[in-house]
């Protein structure tokens, strides 16, 4: 099985947006005060790191625009995801 890297945008309770790379989707109950509002999956770590860097360079308004293209209501996507249906994905 190939390794996949997930670029996540999480929205914290205080509405702050956090961009990060992970190799799994967080579903821990300890993260109940935040939402996974956007994700992309890349098979190449360099591509994932480049995309993370690009997203981190955006101001909040532009970051929200990226999120709303794929998740207009900014719902928590953790409930709709399973590792079985994640593949090379990009909401754009």
Q: Determine the pLDDT at residue 43.
A: 92
Q: Determine the pLDDT at residue 30.
A: 54
Question: What range does the domain containing 53 cover?
Answer: 5-80
CATH number of the domain where residue 52 is located: 3.40.1440
Q: Determine the pLDDT at residue 58.
A: 97
Tokens of 5: 């890297």
Strand partners, 17: 11
Reported as a pLDDT band with limits 50, 70 and 90, residue 78 is: confident
Strand partners, 39: 8
How would DSSP label each residue in the chain? ----EEEEEEEETTS-EEEEEESS----GGGTTEEEEEEEEESSHHHHHHHHHHHHHS-HHHHHHHHHHH-TT---GGGG--TTS--SB---
Q: What is the pLDDT of residues 5-62, one digit of tens each?
A: 999 999 998 889 999 998 766 555 556 678 999 999 999 999 999 999 999 999 999 9
Tokens of 40: 């992309």
Task: Report yes or no on 87 lying in a domain.
Answer: no
Task: Report yes or no on 34 lying in a domain.
Answer: yes
Task: Report yes or no on 16 lying in a domain.
Answer: yes
Task: Report yes or no on 90 lying in a domain.
Answer: no
Query: How many domains in the chain?
Result: 1
């Amino acid at each position: 099985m190939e390794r996949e890297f997930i670029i996540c945008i999480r929205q914290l309770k205080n509405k702050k947006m956090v961009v990060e790379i992970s190799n799994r989707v967080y579903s821990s109950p300890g993260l109940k005060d935040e939402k996974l509002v956007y994700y992309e999956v890349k098979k190449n770590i360099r591509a994932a790191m480049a995309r993370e860097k690009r997203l981190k360079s955006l101001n909040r308004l532009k970051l929200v625009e990226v999120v709303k293209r794929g998740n207009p209501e900014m719902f928590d996507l953790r409930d709709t995801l399973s590792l079985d249906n994640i593949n090379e994905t990009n909401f754009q």
